[in-house]
Structure 1
Amino acid sequence: MSQISEEVRRRVRTQANDQCGYCLSLQKYVLGVLEIEHIISKAAGGSDEEENLWLACRLCNSYKGTQTHAKDPVTNRKVKLFNPCQQKWSRHFAWTDNGTQISGLTAVGRATVLALQLNNPYAVTVRQAWVSAGWHPPKESAKLSVEIEKGEL
């Protein structure tokens, strides 16, 4: 059972602007409650400390699992996955012109797109409907992010 208090859960949800830290899906459009995600999973030594928690949709969280690193398809280097607590989404990702797919702009972004399958067929299909409704693409969370680029480019 989780040891994360309701107060911490509320703060994380507020800081994340009620949207997934990876695909930016907004809670108001997602079927199901966005989950409190461990940036570094407990299985990989992560903690329930607030600095290790963020909000993720079920798809992103399930694809991420215990992964902390993945291979960048351009450089073939193993890099850390995107950390929504510490990095700015727009530094590592961009929406394609039609707003349905996420492109990785950096090694971290490209590795994360593949590892979390951010452009899986379900997500792209739903985003097409959201674009048609004028709900997508969403803006990055208003939370001030700290870019940490130490060797991750």
Structure 2
Amino acid sequence: MSSGYISEELRERVRQHAQDRCGYCLSPQKYVLGRLEIEHIIPLAYGGTNEEENLWLSCRLCNSYKGTQVRARDPITGRSTKLFNPRTQRWSRHFRWSPDGTRVIGYTVCGRATVIALQMNNLIAVTVRQQWELAGWHPPVDLP
């Protein structure tokens, strides 16, 4: 297991690769209060590393709800599945925006399980997205 140190150069590469937005809910840095966090896709507690391929950007809400989870249960099929990996999977393959642009809709087993596990439609997130939508900032059009 690696230590907690992640160099500034590596942080910047991850930030650029992630296009300065949360890999889960797609919240852009320019609209989020506080710095987006470097998150471990596989948590250090489960043998994850500080190598670039295990790091991505996450907003505080998504990262705190994810915690050390690596799997979750799909609410429709009941199947346990790996959570969405923003580094290796395409967001648009697993998620859609609700018609009003305020809720993330899981489109696959992985997507549905991730939406539930990360509580991606919690009251705070939906309220903020409503305001972003009114300002014309949401939903993003350049989906990964």
What is the TM-score of this pair, normalised by structure 2? 0.96
Amino acid paired to 1:118: M
Specify the SS of the correspondent of 2:57.
strand
Matched, 1:140 2:129: no
Partner Cα distance (2:72, 2:34) in 1: 27
The partner residue of 1:119 within 118, 121, 135 is: 121
Across the aligned residues of Structure 1 and Structure 2, the Cα RMSD in angstroms comes to 0.9
Q: Please name the residue that 1:16 is paired with.
A: 18
Q: Please name the residue that 2:105 is paired with.
A: 103
Q: How does 1:1-153 map to 2 (within 5 A)?
A: 2-138=4-140, 139-141=142-144
Amino acid paired to 2:143: E
Aligned-residue sequence identity (percent) comes to 67
| Highest RCO, 1 vs 2 (Cα 8 Å, sep ≥ 6) | 1
* CA apart distance, 1:74: 0.9
Specify the SS of the correspondent of 1:132.
helix
Partner Cα distance (2:47, 2:57) in 1: 19
Structure 2, unpaired ranges of 5+: none
Q: Please name the residue that 1:144 is paired with.
A: none
Specify the SS of the correspondent of 1:51.
helix
* CA apart distance, 1:45: 1.0
Specify the SS of the correspondent of 1:129.
helix
What is the TM-score of this pair, normalised by structure 1? 0.90
The count of corresponding residues between Structure 1 and Structure 2 is 141
* CA apart distance, 1:111: 0.0
Partner Cα distance (1:140, 1:115) in 2: 21
* CA apart distance, 1:140: 2.3
Structure 1, unpaired ranges of 5+: 142-153
